Amino acid sequence: MIEGPACYAELGKALEGRGTVVVSRDPAKVFPGAERTADLPAAVALAETLPWTGPTWITGGERIYAEGLPLCSKLFITRIHRDFPGDRFFPADWHRHFTKLAWSKDGEVDGLKYTFEVWERGQ
Ligand SMILES: NC(=O)c1ccc[n+]([C@@H]2O[C@H](COP(=O)([O-])OP(=O)(O)OC[C@H]3O[C@@H](n4cnc5c(N)ncnc54)[C@H](OP(=O)(O)O)[C@@H]3O)[C@@H](O)[C@H]2O)c1
């Protein structure tokens, strides 16, 4: 799992059962339980050497997603059917990279309706 420092801080720790790589240029920040690199390409290279099976996931935030989308083969996206105020945004041009809706499923949790979608690159 590759993430930025704000995402790490929100979770408050490295999640168990998977390897975590935090991308940060600030040497003063520490990320217990996680590996760290100063840029995304190095994070991807490091993630692929970690002793965990399964795909490498890029889990944000904003700039990490923007830099990471061209590297990804699949996009897993959850659309919550309600508007929220926010100051970080998923890249608006994600459709340039992912044009094929492979799978989708509607759901509801605590009165919040959502649609979970898996997108792939087109031909
Ligand atoms: N609910 C969800 O599914 C979900 C998913 C993603 C994000 N989020 C939330 O959305 C917010 C995202 O905030 P954010 O976009 O500011 O988070 P972020 O990406 O986790 O952290 C931003 C920091 O990442 C570092 N960074 C970003 N791009 C970099 C690059 N190309 N190379 C090196 N370092 C880079 C910089 O920190 P340094 O100064 O340390 O270099 C930058 O200040 C967080 O609250 C997060 O928890 C939620």
Mean pLDDT calculated for residue range 18-25:
97
Q: Determine if ligand 1 sits within 6 Å of the CB of residue 26.
A: yes
Mutate to test the pocket of ligand 1, among 25, 114, 117 (most ligand atoms within 8 A of CB): 25
By three-state DSSP, how is residue 57 classified? coil
Q: What is the pLDDT of residue 18?
A: 93
* Position 26 pLDDT exceeds 90: yes
- Which of 12, 6, 42, 81 has the alpha carbon at shortest distance from 21? 42
Give the separation between CA 89 and CA 64, rounded to whole angstroms: 11
pLDDT score at 123 = 73
Taking CA atoms only, the protein residue closest to ligand 1 atom 32 is 39
Burial 83-117 (b: 16+ CB within 10 A, else e): eeeeeeeeeeeeeebbeeeeeeeeeeeeeeeeeeb
The CATH number of 1-70 is: 3.40.430.10
Mean pLDDT of 67-79: 96
- pLDDT tens across 75-115, in order? 999 999 999 999 999 999 999 999 999 999 999 999 999 99
Other Cβ atoms less than 10 A from the Cβ of 22: the count is: 23
What is the rounded distance in angstroms from the CA atom of residue 62 to the CA atom of residue 120? 20
Q: Is 66 helix (H, G, I), strand (E, B) or coil?
A: helix
Residue 60: name the closest of 15, 27, 98, 90 by CA. 90
Q: Give residue limits of the domains in the chain.
A: 1-70, 73-123
Instruction: Tell me the best of 1, 37, 63 to mutate to test the pocket of ligand 1, counting ligand atoms within 8 Å of each CB and taking the most.
Output: 63
What are the pLDDT digits (tens) for 27-53? 999 999 999 999 999 999 999 999 988
